[in-house]
Chains A and B, each alone.
Chain A
Amino acid sequence: MSTLKIENLSKQYGDVTALEDVSFEIEDEFAVLLGESGAGKSTMLRCVNGLTEPTEGTIALDGTEISDSQTDVGMIFQQHNLVEGVSAYLNALTGSLNRVSMLKSLFQWQSREDKLRALEALETVGLLEESHQRVSQMSGGQQQRVGIARALVQDPRLLLADEPVASLDPSSAETVMGYLRKAAAEHDVTALVSLHQVNIAAYFGDRFIGLKDGEKLFDVRRDELTPELIDDLYGSVETVGLAEQDETVEEILNNGKAPETASKPEAVTEEIEA
């Protein structure tokens, strides 16, 4: 149960404007940030996480302004950003660093609850059996799931993910997104996820925020997301299908145009949560 409120957020890197006057509010939703590379998605997430300081504007979580990295906000990175040389369990446990002193964390004297929480988080993402394995020996999809587990151990109120599936194959991508959705639902947290793949976004998201050249282009719910909006966002890109394609590639080639079907699967999230 949490509300993220972003007001008039701007960010400049020297002369380059990465974000300009973006405002929105999300509450207990699985929100997706859409947009081309360089549209400002990563900057937005890094600002919310406190890894980057915004030039202007405010970010508030449940009415409290966020300025620095904090344990209330869990972040999942594109390149997972785990420590590769140690086990999945120890990586998940680093999510609890904020709750222990330096000395205790060095000797792994975290409380029993924190240790169990780490293992439960790994169970949530289906990696309890593999939790002793070194992260470097895991597949890309598994690594990303460890990243989700670490964020969950923080016991966050807000979960952020920056292109969590950009470097994964379609099958792993779907699995990881499924676990992310499940984790957000189980822990009852608001999630803000940036994605490249429109299909995946439409499949998993409740709410869609489109960024173009640093500005907010649209902010819609699932039933309001139309192929036209997607076209506005990316320009007319033939290979961006909004949902499952009914036509085969041959039919598309024969028709000479991209499919614009927009049937939205509804039963997906229930499947995963079951």
Chain B
Amino acid sequence: MSTPRPESKSIATYFGYGEAGDSDAEQKLQDLKRRKTKRRLWTLASVIGGGVLFYFSLVVIEFNLGMLYNQVPQFIDALYGPNNYFPPGELFGIPFIDLGAYWSFMMEENLILTIEGGRIVWGAMFVTLAVAFAGSVLGLPAALLFGVMASERVIPYPFNFAFRATMSLIRAIPGLVWFLILIPLGGVGPFTAALAIMIDTTGYLGRLFTDELEEIEDGPIEGIRSTGANRSQVVSFGMLSQVFRQFIAWIAFDLEHNVRAAIGLGLIGGGGLGLELYVQRQTFHYTNMMACIILIFLLAGSVELLSQRVRSYLREEDDVEKSGVIEALVNAPKNILSSTMGRRGH
């Protein structure tokens, strides 16, 4: 064995720009080091670039730590006290939140449902649910049509783009904006909210269908073709039958999402829980706001739970996250937010 070569400690060597040894391995080592140096420089550049963007974003939004510091006591004041988020009360003699205050507002404003003279009067919670459900069902046929037609496997290349482009156009405009656009058609209310969700569903659910269709296998398609089936039979039995269960799962997911979207639409006039929340905020009735938020929490959480169950049942063989009751409820606010602002918490 030869004696070990004295380690050259120069910085240039460390970064791969020093003198290379004569053996092929040493040349390669230098080469590898040089590549690593380049990678590091790129990483450094992107970190700096990201930092600069972040800084300017903070400037634009007028980020102000001092304001946060000054306002925190006021926010805390708004949390606890009469007419605040958490009204003081008693539970079995122990000081606690006055749950009765929430309940009486829910009843007073008919947030859940009431029965008048043998007739059920559906409350705000069910209005929201109805907006979401009706919108989803109305949007489903178009989503199916566009989703299937946009797939290259069904319609050959240049022509499928007509359907793809339509869906992209729909998605480029957020659901909230669709609501504003459609107001002349249906007025400010749940009807227009459902129409907005219908259009939104066409764009998004259709796109999910298309993506799912792109991943199907050729085998079954060929299998059906070999039986002498006609073109549309090949599409429905060879292609759609492969993704049927996935489609059902996506529909469940979209319904779940649409419930959250319906709450967001309520805030701008679409009715239901969202509208109630907005009205109470404008009149600074924090206790009433909290009552709405609790119901939103329960509604979105239970629909999400239901949808999760459907999806994990359908994909019992696939790996799908199995979320329990607690997890679904904990995730609800985050998902409501992401659905209201933009799209797709997941």
Contact B219 A98 (CB under 8 A): no
Determine if A70 is an interface residue (Cβ-Cβ < 8 Å).
Answer: yes
Q: Which residue of A72, A85, A98 is within 8 Å of B242 (Cβ)?
A: A85
Contacts of A97 in B (CB 8 A): 224, 227-230, 233, 237
Contacts of A83 in B (CB 8 A): 220, 223-224, 237-238, 241-242
Contacts of B220 in A (CB 8 A): 81-84
Task: Quote the shortest CB–CB distance from A50 to chain B (angstroms).
Answer: 8
Contacts of B237 in A (CB 8 A): 83, 94, 97, 105
Q: Which residue of B222, B228, B229, B244 is within 8 Å of A85 (Cβ)?
A: B244
Range of interface residues on B (Cβ < 8 Å): 20 to 34
Residues 71-107 of A, flagged 1 when their CB comes within 8 A of B and 0 if not, give 1111101011111111000000011011000100110
- Chain B residues 192-245 with CB under 8 Å of chain A are 219-220, 222-230, 232-233, 236-238, 241-242, 244-245
Determine if B317 is an interface residue (Cβ-Cβ < 8 Å).
Answer: yes
Contacts of A73 in B (CB 8 A): 226, 228
Contacts of A69 in B (CB 8 A): 225-228
- Which A residue's beta carbon lies closest to that of B236? A106
Q: Given A85-B245, A94-B229, A97-B237, decide whether A79 and B219 contact each other with a Cβ distance below 8 A.
A: yes
Contacts of A105 in B (CB 8 A): 233, 236-237
Contact A77 B236 (CB under 8 A): no
Contacts of B245 in A (CB 8 A): 85
Determine if A49 is an interface residue (Cβ-Cβ < 8 Å).
Answer: yes
Contact A51 B224 (CB under 8 A): no
Q: Bound state CA distance, A86 and B228, in angstroms?
A: 20
Q: Given A94-B237, A97-B233, A97-B237, decide whether A81 and B222 contact each other with a Cβ distance below 8 A.
A: yes
Contact B241 A136 (CB under 8 A): no
Determine if A150 is an interface residue (Cβ-Cβ < 8 Å).
Answer: yes
Q: Given A97-B237, A102-B236, decide whether A136 and B225 contact each other with a Cβ distance below 8 A.
A: no
Q: Bound state CA distance, A154 and B229, in angstroms?
A: 10
Task: Quote the shortest CB–CB distance from A173 to chain B (angstroms).
Answer: 20
- Which B residue's beta carbon lies closest to that of A137? B317
Q: Identify which of B222, B225, B227, B244 gathers the most chain A CB atoms within 10 Å of its CB.
A: B227
Contact B232 A150 (CB under 8 A): no
Q: Identify which of A74, A83, A84, A102 gathers the most chain B CB atoms within 10 Å of its CB.
A: A83
Task: Quote the shortest CB–CB distance from A109 to chain B (angstroms).
Answer: 13
Contact A77 B223 (CB under 8 A): yes
- Chain A residues 104-133 with CB under 8 Å of chain B are 105-106
Q: Bound state CA distance, A102 and B245, in angstroms?
A: 21
Q: Given A69-B226, A77-B222, decide whether A85 and B241 contact each other with a Cβ distance below 8 A.
A: yes
- Which A residue's beta carbon lies closest to that of B245? A85
Q: Which residues of B contact A (CB under 8 A)?
A: 219-220, 222-230, 232-233, 236-238, 241-242, 244-245, 317
In the complex, given contacts A80-B223, A85-B242, what are 16 additional A-B residue pairs having Cβ atoms less than 8 angstroms apart?
A51-B226, A70-B228, A71-B228, A77-B222, A81-B220, A83-B237, A83-B242, A94-B237, A97-B224, A97-B230, A97-B237, A98-B227, A98-B229, A105-B233, A106-B236, A147-B223
Instruction: List the 8 closest A-B pairs by CB distance, nearest first.
Output: A81-B223, A71-B228, A97-B229, A75-B226, A81-B219, A98-B228, A70-B228, A83-B241
A-B contact pairs, 27 of them (CB 8 A): A51-B226, A70-B228, A72-B228, A74-B226, A74-B227, A75-B223, A77-B219, A77-B222, A77-B226, A79-B219, A81-B219, A83-B220, A84-B220, A84-B242, A86-B244, A95-B227, A97-B224, A97-B227, A97-B228, A98-B227, A98-B229, A98-B230, A102-B233, A102-B236, A136-B317, A147-B223, A151-B227
